[in-house]
Each structure stands twice: as structure tokens, then as C-alpha cells.
Chains A and B, each alone.
Chain A
Amino acid sequence: MNYWPLIGVAVVIAGFALKRNAVLVVVAAGVASALAAGMDVGDLLALLGNSFVSNRALLLFTLTLPVIGLLERYGLRERAKIWIEGFRNLSLAKLLIAYLGARQLLAMFGLIDLGGHAQTVRPLLAPMSEAAAGREGALDDAARARVRALAAETDNVGRFFGEDVFLAFGAVLLIQGFFERNGIHLEPLAIALWAIPTAISAFTIHSVRIVFAQRRLRAQMHEMPSVGNPTEDARR
């Protein structure tokens, strides 16, 4: 067993810990790991090139940027805030829990790319969350950042723990394919159904956390109500 390729893992950990440029760290880790495995330069370049091209789908989200950018220029985020402010009873927790549930349910039907950080979180969910949270009082910068991070987290949790219940999702097929190659025949349905307990747990756990996050925000605002910067919203 050749343990030297693990050097690539060390490069990644060290690079991220030292906050070097992430793209450079990752490329260096790949080169280090391949050289340590005794790969020659020609093979290394071909491997890098082929893997890079095979993973193109991960950059597809940039296609949403011209649309989102244009709409933001014409005030989409402000509009999202105003719209949420119109609902007097919609709290941050209700908004995010509703989004979490909807995201999980849609992901269960394979509709994974309906939501996402570029498509829905930045233009819609984050400003809506800020508006819902802002109802308690003006948000300071730290609180605003926490609310945004919570919105992003909610999107991730909803997506991850919904998609595995979908039959034709890559993960289910990957699991099925793995066992098939090892002589164990499984129906995709049998695999997908076992993802349901975790899906329910994820919904419960994250909902509770959202409620606690809202409580903490509320407590903080009542402690020091004038810390926020009320001109911030007018300026943006």
C-alpha cells in the first residue's frame, strides 16, 4: 500500500488552514498527490484536463448571474424585503421552516436545481429573511450576517436531506450500482425509502435550530435596541 498520495490531503488541509488562495491550493494538492503516486507528467496533465472537463456541470450556475444581476440592479432585493414586510405575522422562523420543508419535498421529487444559492437564496430568500428578522428591530451587521448564513444553511439542509429520497437521484443509483457490482441486487426504492427517517430528523433538528436562532436574535435586539443602523436600509 502506497501512502504517499496522502500528501495531497496534507497540502489541502495546510493550504486551507493558512488561508492561501484556494484554487492554487487545490491544484497544488492534485499535482503533489499525483507525483507522489508515481504518475508521469503526461498522465498527470491528461488526468487533470479530463477531470476538469468532466465536472463542467458545477459551473452551470453562472448562467443565472446575468438574470439575477439585472434584476438586482432594478431593485429585486429591495422588492423582496418590501413584499415580506407586508405580511405582519410572518416571522423569520416561519419563513425559513416553510422554505426548508418545500425544498425537501421538491428535492424528493428530483427537483433539486429549483432552488440554490445563486437562483433563490441571494436574490429572494436572504433579503426576505432579513426583512422578517428586521421586524423585531434594526439588524446590526453581525446579526445580518447571521441571518444570511442561516438562510444559506437552510437551503443546504433542505436539499441534502431531501434528494436521497428521490429514486432516480445519482446517490441512490450510485449505491445500487455499487452493490450490483458486488453481487447484491437491490431495488432503488428499497434504498430511497431508508432515507426517510433521516429526512424527517433533519427537518426536525433544523427547524428547532431556526426557532432558537430567532429567539437569540430577539433577545439580543431587546437588550440593545439602538445598536442597529437604521440608515443602512435607506442607503441600499
Chain B
Amino acid sequence: MEIFELVLALLSAIPEGIKGRTVVQKLGYFASVKLNVEAGYAADFYGPFSSEVAEQLQNMVELDFVVERGRHTFRNRTMYNYSLTEDGLKLARKVREEHPEDYAVIKGIVEKCTETVHCNYNVLSWAAKVHFVLNRAHRTMTRAEAIDASQSFGWKLSQDEVESAIRLLSALGLIKEE
């Protein structure tokens, strides 16, 4: 599956659209891990970030497959919402037909994230950060070790945030709790 198709599939799995670039990035991260797709995720301010995912999302907006709407939130932030256009939906249908198993995995990720944490961008970020750290360690870690290791990427995670992250990662089947 190409990155373009992965992002399209993510957007297709949430008919009402995805609220926020961070959510697109983190859902994309979990999808790339589960599907073993190399998306170039690297440590960044808000957690693992892929310029390819960002670029493909932008690509889709420029090609009229995705609508991007900016809105101002009560905290003075600008939130960007993404949803498929009619043409984007047609293309997404094609992707589902060509990659039915991969799409099922992506749909599963989206459903789990919605059920457990309502796709909250903070929790998704924490979970992606913790997974990123654990993945690079190639060994099991205690919560304290995960917190320490995340600091090497410039991330400050509290105990509670790590707990929320682990609950989500466990629900996604991305870690085993001991």
C-alpha cells in the first residue's frame, strides 16, 4: 500500500472527517506500524511525524480529493479538519477494492481509537510517542524507563499520560502489558 492510499483509507474510515493534522499523523503512524509500511516517521515536537504523510495529505487537498477547513478553537488554536470530496470518495472506493485486508486493519485502528479515546489528539500523541520509544528500544521497558527514554526525543510525559498511552496501545494490540 502506498502512503497516498494509506492516508486516503484513513480519511475514508472516518466519514465525518478527521479533526486535526496531529490526528492524521498519529493514526497514520499506527497504520504504518500495523501494516509494516515505511512512512518515514521521525521524532518531532508533537511526537512521531512523517513528512510523506503530510505531503500526501497536502497533495490530496491540492488535487481536490480532500477538503481542508481551518477553524479557530476556544483555545486560540487553529484546527484543520479533513474530509474526502466526492472525487476523494470515488478514489477511496478503489483503494478499498484493491487493498481489502489493509483497509480492514485501518478501519480497525480508527474504530479502536474512536471507541477508547474519541480520537483525542493528546492521547494519540502520547501513545505514538511511547510506542516510538519502545520500538526503538527493542526490549521491554518499565513505565519509568519509557518516561526517561522519551526525554531523549525531547518529550516530557507524565505517569498519567504514559498510562493512557499504554491503555490505547494495548487496545490496538501494539504492546503487551506485563
Q: A and B bound? A: no
Q: Interface residues, chain B, CB within 8 Å of chain A?
A: none
Q: Interface residues, chain A, CB within 8 Å of chain B?
A: none
